[in-house]
Structure 1
Amino acid sequence: MHNLGLKENIFKAWILTILALCSLFSNQALASKMASQLQEAIYLFEMKGDVDDAIRLLEKISRQGDADDKEFAFFYLGKIYDLGSNKAQANHFYSRSQAFTQNTSKSYWLAQRDAATSFAPERLLQKTIPLRSPIRKFFDGKNANILFENGHIAKIESGMIIEIASKLNENEHLLQINADGMWFQNPTRDSLFYKPHNAPNQEVSFEVKNISQFTATSNNAIAITDKGFSIIDRKGSIVKGNTDYASCQLINDQFINDNFIFNCPDNALHFVSASTATETFTIALYDIIQKVFVFKNLIYLVSGNELFCYSLQNTKNPLWKVAIGNIESLQNFENNIVTLEASGKITLYNRTTGAILSSVRANASNIYTLAQGTLGLFSNEGSVITVDTLLRPLWGFNFAKAPMTQPVAKRRFIYVPFDNKKIYAIDAHYYGQRPLFSSKLASQAVHLAKRNRWDNISPILDSIIKNEPGNAEAHFLKAFNLERKKSSEKDRQKAWAEAVRLSTGSPQIARIVLKYYRKVIGATFASQLSVSPKTLYPQLLGSKKNIYTVDPATEQLICINAETGEQRWSKYIGKIGNAPVIQSDENSIVISTGYQMNIYDMNKDSFNKPLQLPGKAFNFTISGDYIYAATWNGFLLKISRNTNSIVWSRKVYSMPFHVVKLNRTLQLCNLDGELTRLNDDNGLTIDNTTNKIQVNITAMEGIDSTLVLVSSTNKLFLQNTKRKEFSPIQVLMEYPIISMQVLRDQNEDKIIISLADQSILLYSNIGTPLWKFQGKKSIFSKPFIYDGKAWIDQGSELIAISIKTGKIVKTFNTPGGAGTPFILNHTLFTASPKHVLYAFPL
């Protein structure tokens, strides 16, 4: 029967352990449906030693009880078998209990017992669910509803896609869906409908047209139109509001004390009653409110560089506030508040006091809750580091791609959706206590590689990638093996690109991969750049022995040793926004920060005191000892680099403009094509005559006596400044002009341009076409001119085009992509979209 053969002395030794565990979780057991029978089973086992009767009663409870009953019945069954050294049965019941528990401490304890009763490695990726139709929209939440392109609506349950009764007809617009029903508009958008899942024929309609914003709670919904807003009860009632919130942002899925929330341009949150459709109160701040989150009747919001917490009892003064960086995510985690900054910094705050409980930094672009009491730190490349309630690492894994939306945790699986093709179902109760199956296989593969037994490795690598699609070690060994076998260049490049990409989430593996990879591509070094995941294409600057890059997301200037690729330091610049104006030469880096300009002196290795501008910077021009700053509101300032002071300032236009210095003259042209010449010494107009090109001007450059303007009509305008009359030569291009540069080659002024079709063309200063090169896959389509060559990125390679012939004269392979080249000390540098810095000797 069920006799476990427990010896009396062993039984007595474990009685105290059982009593302690009963005490720990008894408050939950007493709340269950079959609480008295649970206590009877515990009494039978603890006090009477009647193991068989206790097991029979617990098995009955596990079949007939509610979720709480099942959790405790399985738990005690697991413990009884554990005490009897029946590890297989104990593991089975511990796992069953873990599927029902909502208690974080108990989840961690059960995970420990799971590891103690089973020595099998963890197969984290349990199932891949293929999708028959692409996903049109994925609705977050516990039900994980999916709208497919074919109009079918489904939920994920028990590792399967299950279609629900409702189906969206062609051209109908689904607004929101939950466990009870769905809200949608008809194809003409002149009516709103609510359809319950369990009674699809009982559809309710509302006369609400052209909805621009919408969100719903369990009972009510709010719809924003260009004519106002309406509060809607799904049973059929509707209350129209008088206030215009069309310019505000409705906060989706955030609802507090019967109030919907609007984030409005007046830098305030407006709370609107769902019962009366009237505004109940506001929270006003000085800066724009960037993020809003409601948790347990407290309101958290990000404004400026601060995180605020408000209660409804006092909306005038925050309960607390803390200084923060650029926030990407704000959410709750284990009854506290967690933030992810653009720099990859994750911080856990006490929700009521704002005290920092823990802080870590990771290569994370998103954070999502996973198993009970764990948080997943996901990178853009698909790697995840899972941390505990104090942000301590538990385990790591790589899916090879970033999830398309938040994973959905159910009883048995956590569902992680990827693009439109598949959903991964992973174990919902893994806490890193047992080794991953893919990691164990990877260790075997490394062991074989060290012994040069490559014939046995390929099947193992395939198995690793099946169980962990983005395992960096497997992809590295795959690339190394292809290189060893001298496979086709295409296959080798593809394999190395994947190995480099997938190693970025693990610095230790990345160092090994890049060490071998740089030898393959002939680079002096290949090293990781410590920039934010938000900075996709780092731009390189430099002087002497240093390379610099600006990371707008973290608002840092980063200095890198040009000889080794190692980071020397990073310095905080100030609030520079997502697209700062940056200009540099061999001595200075000029960076805009709002209404200020910051000059970093590369010779002094320090920032000068910031200079105040009369408007936001539009562009900077560096010439000799001076910097010229043009602002969006039409001011031009001349700044001395020697004294870090403004020489003169003048209002020239009422709009942005371009600046070129030719000899002692400043040539200006605003966006409307109006040209003006100023005296460089004093900023005064040289003559009162104004020339104008009757089109919008997007760029202007000059060299010697050649002035070149680019128009929005795909034309180049070439003007010889030695001529008194204004009669520019016009050259029409087939495609929009992306970049234009002037250069001196063989004692002649020349113009090199890049077009939207990726072609690169060279012209003389009088508009004579000299050659055309058809490029491909360049990020910014702006060549770097050096030593008679135009260097440019072309997807997975860097090429040098001869200025003389327009032909390729040099190529460097960069599997995985490259950015705009930069050359310093006869070395070519480029940063890939995956934040790898390459250096190639020239």
Structure 2
Amino acid sequence: MHRFFLIIGFGLLNLGFALDLRLKQAEYLYELEGEKDAAINLLQKVTKSSNPNDVKRSYLGLAKIYDWSGQADSAQKYYEFFLQKPCKDPTTKQWVSNRLNLLQSQAPHFFLKSHNFSSPITSIAQNEKFVTILLNNGNLYSLDSVGLKKTPFMLKHSQQIVYANHKSFWVNNYENERILLEYDYHGKLTHNNIELDGKLLDKLELSNNRILISTAKSIYLLKNHRKVWQISNQYQGCTPISEAFSLKQVYFNCLDNAVRIVNLEDGLELETINLLNPVDSIFSTNNGLFISNNQGLLLKSPIEQPSATQWQKTFINIHSILAFDRDKLAVLESDGSLNLLNQKNGQLISRTMVEPGALFQNQGYLGLISWSGNLFLMDNQAKVFASYQSGYSPKQKPLINHQFICLQVSDKQIAVLSNQYYGKTHHHLQNSLDSMVNFHQQGKLSAAQSIADSLLQKEPGNKNAWVVKANVQGQMGSTDSALWAWSNAALFSNHHIAGYSKNLILREFAQAAQANWIQSLPSLQKSYPKILSNSKHIFSLDAEGSNLVAIDPATGSYNWRSSLQKLETDYTLGHDENLLALSSHYNAAIYDLHDKGKHIGNLDLPGKAYKIHFTTKYIYISTWNGFLMKFDKKSLQALWSRKLFTAEALIDNFNDKIVALSTKGDMIHIDDNTGATLEEININLNSITLLHSNDSLLFVLNIDGTLNTFNNKLEKIITHPFGQQVFSLQKTKHNNKVIVGLANQQIRLFDVYKKTFLWNFQGKNSIFVKPLLSDNQIFLDQGEKVIQLDLENGHLIKSWDLPGGCGSIWLHNDLLIVPSALGFLYQFTLDDRHF
């Protein structure tokens, strides 16, 4: 037994590195001589070795000896030491994790701590051991497994962190963007500063303290804060996105749909792989080069000339990919489907539903932190065996190393979770949960709430604890607290944790909010979804433009759901009753809203879309580089394309005219049939922000808040300065009156001809400052409320509470429909609640 026991400990860790002879000697002493103390003494000495691989072996050897000797506390300590060190062998990590699960008397905590800062976070850099955080006020912090530590000096407001390791970090100065400065963590400026030949454009952090930096002219490889090589940047329009450590290569993703492979030792190009579709991500394993795009995933073999495609698999929208457990590949789609594939042949091993988020490896298991803050842990068949709701929704991609997970949850707050899970926390929480439910069923409200509060300290997003709190608060008559608790229960609920079903929680939540129904939306990041509508449906489009959901306005039920082609984050959209246009890169995808979101074609564009405008028969698209194109809606054929300006343009149909107005102030009247310029109009304006029209007037706003009004002959007739930036301007049923939303949150009714404000409403906490107008009523978001105003006098009529904040507002057959940043859609009847 001794022999088998120690072979597992040492043999699996022999990773091809030179082995400290004391390790073999300790193994001999323990196995053959039975000299446990002598073996422990030798292994303790190896723990002080400079070779990290020998240190890992010594920790595991000590843990095994103590474990076999019945000394659980000492064994647990060294197993934990081992797991705190990087190890690429999943079998060993899983074995150690399972031993720890058996030995631990207490469950470790997933949630470590949240940290609030006094100033917004401006930049974050990460390495294998810690995270460096720079605030807007110049304060600098380092975060490791021990905690958060403030450095004893401050940086300038104009600096950002480019790269950091355990000894020092590089900053880039906005005032002189060509200089990289190196500081140690005592604030001392080193002599390793590097001057670039231009502004830093892209960076890619590599292994072994290396970073790749590009300017418009050159590409640099830096290692240990020194320049290794510099080459001419012949890859403009290309972004370095991943490296192959074993092959000493880096991959560039280029706008011409090519992947360029560059040698990291000398910067020379090794190969170019040309593809038909834009590339989303690239990474390599020993099995070859994996490339994902909007058609799915394929495996290339760069060794062969030309690069041969080994296999290809179709996915509609890939959200995240991770090589896992030697020859497996985890592919997460935007709808939360997790596919486990065989790397060598692409065959599907298993498929499960989780949530969109970031994949990572956790002690040999597969981990996922979702955009709702839910942590999933899965075995090597991608089956979920535990989940944990942190209660914190990350606003940026999580920072993950082998010890902890750092989530930036707001511009001033981070939350830290443990990446040292051993399997017992889930069962420990379940025991507390059972006690809490029993107390609640027995009517012992104080005892039930006490356990719920204790549970929420350990797991801030525990759905069942929030359900109990909501019920208890409701029974105690605290309606506002109950409403907030139900919103949290709905926010954190998912189908992987036993207890209340999500549908039941949503019904209870709707009752507490006095809504007809509340529906959960499939959003990736928790942000305000885009809401569209036609005569039959309300459509929800998530923040990344990946999922389109058609919702029945009367019941809130999903009628259908469609996964869309992958888009850039800053996509442009337009729609009418029948069609939806979504544009990123240099094309616009067209979807049929009456045929379950079916993709019916693409429109090729000469630049990135700026505005998409629908009329009865045509689609007009203006681009950031000054083009205007007209397409036929039925055939999707381009009818004409014209280069009008050097910059982006706003477009409008005004009195049977096509009017194009560049944001620099150039106005053109266009022949709708040919796209030819009929008239150029000098309006002497610049920094245009809005173009809007009614039956007889054309309104133009510039950035300083000045309203310029033109008649149907495109003659300027009225100019009026509002004195501040205008966020929105909308026509009313009276041609001479408009509703104006100002930067100071005021909503005003303005008479254009009289140049007079008829009334003013001082709003607060509005996200969009763009009211919805319907006949004589105005609906406006006000933080966690929606309010209704009378158009004639601006008086407040009604309000509705929406925990988590409200977004753009819609009316559908006298039903008020409002989305929330928490990922909910609310429906109220207009006359069901008075202020």
Work out whether the TM-score is over 0.5.
Answer: yes
Tell me if structure 2 keeps the 8 A contact 1:185–1:192: yes
Q: CA deviation at 1:796?
A: 0.4
Residue 567 in 1 paired to residue 558 in 2? Answer: yes
Residue 743 in 1 paired to residue 735 in 2? Answer: no
- Which residue matches 1:465? 456
Inter-partner Cα distance in structure 2 for 1:144 and 1:635: 49
Spell out, residue by residue over 1:315-334, the C-alpha distance to the aligned partner (whole angstroms, 9 max, x if none): 63145343334444444333
Shifted more, 460-469 versus 666-675: the winner is 666-675
Residue 141 in 1 paired to residue 127 in 2? Answer: yes
TM-score by length of 1: 0.79
Aligned pair in 2 of structure 1 residues 606, 63: CA closer, same or farther (>3 Å)?
Answer: closer
- Which residue matches 1:786? 774
Residue 305 in 1 paired to residue 291 in 2? Answer: no
Tell me if structure 2 keeps the 8 A contact 1:648–1:683: no
SS for the counterpart of 2:530 is coil
Q: CA deviation at 1:824?
A: 1.4
2:763 aligned partner, one-letter code: G
Shifted more, 831-840 versus 348-357: the winner is 348-357
Tell me if structure 1 keeps the 8 A contact 2:613–2:651: no
Inter-partner Cα distance in structure 1 for 2:515 and 2:335: 28
Aligned pair in 2 of structure 1 residues 559, 37: CA closer, same or farther (>3 Å)?
Answer: same
Inter-partner Cα distance in structure 1 for 2:132 and 2:527: 31
- Which residue matches 1:829? 817
Inter-partner Cα distance in structure 2 for 1:622 and 1:189: 42
1:104 aligned partner, one-letter code: P
Aligned pair in 2 of structure 1 residues 316, 42: CA closer, same or farther (>3 Å)?
Answer: same
- Which residue matches 1:526? 518
- Which residue matches 1:763? 750
SS for the counterpart of 1:445 is helix
Spell out, residue by residue over 1:253-282, the C-alpha distance to the aligned partner (whole angstroms, 9 max, x if none): 765644455444444444444544444444
**How many residue pairs were aligned?**
785
1:676 aligned partner, one-letter code: H
Tell me if structure 2 keeps the 8 A contact 1:760–1:772: yes
Q: 1:658 aligned to 651, 658, 666, which one? A: 651
Inter-partner Cα distance in structure 1 for 2:198 and 2:597: 55
Inter-partner Cα distance in structure 2 for 1:167 and 1:106: 42
Q: CA deviation at 1:570?
A: 1.7
Inter-partner Cα distance in structure 2 for 1:36 and 1:226: 57
2:12 aligned partner, one-letter code: Q
Residue 799 in 1 paired to residue 783 in 2? Answer: no
Spell out, residue by residue over 1:308-358, the C-alpha distance to the aligned partner (whole angstroms, 9 max, x if none): 444452363145343334444444333344344443343334334444433
Inter-partner Cα distance in structure 2 for 1:646 and 1:328: 29
Q: 1:676 aligned to 645, 649, 669, which one? A: 669
Q: 2:364 aligned to 362, 370, 373, which one? A: 373
Q: 1:388 aligned to 360, 363, 379, which one? A: 379
1:660 aligned partner, one-letter code: N
1:27 aligned partner, one-letter code: G
SS for the counterpart of 1:598 is strand
Tell me if structure 2 keeps the 8 A contact 1:614–1:635: no
- Which residue matches 2:826? 838
Inter-partner Cα distance in structure 2 for 1:331 and 1:24: 27
Residue 730 in 1 paired to residue 719 in 2? Answer: yes
Q: CA deviation at 1:810?
A: 1.2
Tell me if structure 2 keeps the 8 A contact 1:189–1:211: yes
Inter-partner Cα distance in structure 2 for 1:472 and 1:454: 18
| Matched ranges for 1:567-606 at <5 A | 567-572=558-563, 574=565, 578=569, 579-585=571-577, 588-592=578-582, 595=587, 598=590, 600=592, 602=594
Inter-partner Cα distance in structure 1 for 2:115 and 2:763: 38
Inter-partner Cα distance in structure 2 for 1:43 and 1:265: 64
| Matched ranges for 1:237-316 at <5 A | 239-243=229-233, 248-251=238-241, 255=245, 257-296=247-286, 298-314=288-304, 316=306
Q: 1:540 aligned to 521, 532, 536, which one? A: 532
Q: CA deviation at 1:541?
A: 1.0
**Structure number with bigger Rg:** 1
Inter-partner Cα distance in structure 1 for 2:637 and 2:349: 50
Aligned pair in 2 of structure 1 residues 574, 169: CA closer, same or farther (>3 Å)?
Answer: closer
Q: CA deviation at 1:522?
A: 0.8
Tell me if structure 2 keeps the 8 A contact 1:259–1:273: yes
Q: CA deviation at 1:798?
A: 1.0
Q: CA deviation at 1:647?
A: 11
Residue 814 in 1 paired to residue 802 in 2? Answer: yes
Tell me if structure 2 keeps the 8 A contact 1:761–1:772: yes
Give the unaligned 5+ runs of structure 1. 1-14, 45-52, 82-88
Aligned pair in 2 of structure 1 residues 709, 505: CA closer, same or farther (>3 Å)?
Answer: farther
Aligned pair in 2 of structure 1 residues 360, 688: CA closer, same or farther (>3 Å)?
Answer: same
Aligned pair in 2 of structure 1 residues 823, 435: CA closer, same or farther (>3 Å)?
Answer: same
SS for the counterpart of 1:730 is strand
1:93 aligned partner, one-letter code: A
Aligned residues: CA RMSD: 4.5
Aligned pair in 2 of structure 1 residues 774, 296: CA closer, same or farther (>3 Å)?
Answer: farther
SS for the counterpart of 2:359 is strand
Tell me if structure 2 keeps the 8 A contact 1:635–1:649: no
Aligned pair in 2 of structure 1 residues 615, 69: CA closer, same or farther (>3 Å)?
Answer: closer
SS for the counterpart of 2:376 is strand
Spell out, residue by residue over 1:688-708, the C-alpha distance to the aligned partner (whole angstroms, 9 max, x if none): 666553335554444444444
| Matched ranges for 1:603-642 at <5 A | 610=601, 626-632=617-623, 637=630, 639=632
Aligned pair in 2 of structure 1 residues 776, 254: CA closer, same or farther (>3 Å)?
Answer: farther
Tell me if structure 2 keeps the 8 A contact 1:552–1:577: no
Aligned pair in 2 of structure 1 residues 168, 375: CA closer, same or farther (>3 Å)?
Answer: farther
Q: CA deviation at 1:475?
A: 3.3
Inter-partner Cα distance in structure 1 for 2:419 and 2:567: 42
Q: CA deviation at 1:726?
A: 3.2
Spell out, residue by residue over 1:396-434, the C-alpha distance to the aligned partner (whole angstroms, 9 max, x if none): 112222466655555xx5464656666646372423x56
- Which residue matches 1:7? none
SS for the counterpart of 1:819 is coil
Q: CA deviation at 1:69?
A: 4.2
Q: CA deviation at 1:374?
A: 1.9
Inter-partner Cα distance in structure 1 for 2:114 and 2:619: 59
Give the unaligned 5+ runs of structure 2. 47-54, 831-835
Inter-partner Cα distance in structure 2 for 1:439 and 1:258: 47
Aligned pair in 2 of structure 1 residues 558, 615: CA closer, same or farther (>3 Å)?
Answer: farther
Inter-partner Cα distance in structure 2 for 1:429 and 1:599: 44
Q: 1:442 aligned to 433, 439, 462, which one? A: 433
- Which residue matches 2:52? none
Inter-partner Cα distance in structure 2 for 1:453 and 1:174: 53
Aligned pair in 2 of structure 1 residues 55, 256: CA closer, same or farther (>3 Å)?
Answer: closer
- Which residue matches 1:122? 107
Q: CA deviation at 1:653?
A: 6.7
Aligned pair in 2 of structure 1 residues 605, 144: CA closer, same or farther (>3 Å)?
Answer: closer
Shifted more, 653-662 versus 468-477: the winner is 653-662
Q: CA deviation at 1:789?
A: 0.8
- Which residue matches 1:86? none
TM-score by length of 2: 0.79
Residue 104 in 1 paired to residue 93 in 2? Answer: no
Spell out, residue by residue over 1:699-720, the C-alpha distance to the aligned partner (whole angstroms, 9 max, x if none): 4444444444444453334445
Q: CA deviation at 1:741?
A: 2.5
Tell me if structure 2 keeps the 8 A contact 1:282–1:315: no
Tell me if structure 2 keeps the 8 A contact 1:220–1:234: yes
Q: 1:695 aligned to 661, 685, 690, which one? A: 685
Residue 177 in 1 paired to residue 164 in 2? Answer: yes
Inter-partner Cα distance in structure 2 for 1:56 and 1:716: 86
